[in-house]
Amino acid sequence: MMKDHEIHTAAATLLQNWNQCTRLTELPTQCRPNNRAEAYAIQEELTRLSGQTVFGWKIAATSLMGQAHIGVDGPLAGRLLSQRILQDGAVISLSGNLMRVAEAEFAFRLGRSLPKRDELYSVEEVLDAAESLHPAIEIPDSRYHDFVRVGAPQLIADNACASWFVLGAATPANWREDDLAQHEVRAYRNGTLVASGSGSNVLGDPRIALTWIANELNTFGDGLLAGQVVTTGTCIAPPSISPGDRFRVDFGAFGTMEAAFS
């Protein structure tokens, strides 16, 4: 297991690159995580050093296209930091952003905590703890030059490619009765349809993705807290975005929302 000073060095290195909009090839060998436990320890220290609170959580690579995009074979959890949360209609600077893509995601707000315990959580338990469903847009980024090559532990340490997160209003629709796997999502760039998909692209169903992160944090963290928001991964192949673009997502009965880029 990594020593405390190695975890601190890795987290400080990543945070410095995040703050300065710079990139590194990889973390130095002496403070590079070898597994998920070490990676999440670095992610936690990065959050502490940032001085920000945890608004919620994101799941990266819940689809085959997402896994291919960052070169992993399964999902990763990351923290949504309080100063990176925006509201519907926000204008987001792409200065220093390497990925320059936008994602349309189902997000859930928890009404009840799912604390760490000995046994795993079921889908039914996790859904019972969910209070509301929201459309959301994520603008990911990485602090690595070649994020496809560095592997899952280094990506987790880098907060699972988190950057900006735009949260839409809670849907008034009865989402619990909807088949989220088959629910269609469309994305428009400057008024033109550029991508479409459904909840089936998110580990087969956004409810399954929400359960995955509850159990990932049950294993590698302290669980999920009431009030936190979890965004479950992109439903679409993420289209490219550039300064001057407007990006709108349409979740049908669940609502629409948009963001602009500068």
Contact 188, 194 (CB under 8 A): yes
159 three-state secondary structure: helix
Half-sphere exposure of 77 toward its Cβ, with a 13 Å CA cutoff? Answer: 28
Question: Quick one: pLDDT at residue 66?
Answer: 83
Query: DSSP characters for 184-211?
Result: EEEEEETTEEEEEEEGGGTTTSHHHHHH
- CA 164 to centroid of chain Cα atoms: 9
The domain made up of 52-261 has a fold known as Fumarylacetoacetate hydrolase; domain 2 (3.90.850)
Q: Which residue blocks in the chain are alpha helix, DSSP H? A: 4-20, 36-50, 64-70, 123-129, 152-157, 206-220
For the stretch 149-171, pLDDT in tens is 999 999 999 999 999 999 999 99
For the stretch 71-105, pLDDT in tens is 898 999 999 999 999 999 999 999 999 999 999 99
pTM above 0.75, yes or no: yes
Structure token pair of residue 39: 């990676």
Contact 161, 75 (CB under 8 A): no
d(C-alpha 133, C-alpha 167), whole Å = 10
Question: Quick one: pLDDT at residue 64?
Answer: 81
Q: Mark the ranges of the chain whose per-residue pLDDT is less than 50.
A: none
Question: Quick one: pLDDT at residue 65?
Answer: 78
Q: Please state, as a whole number, how many other Cβ atoms lie within 10 Å of the Cβ of residue 24.
A: 16
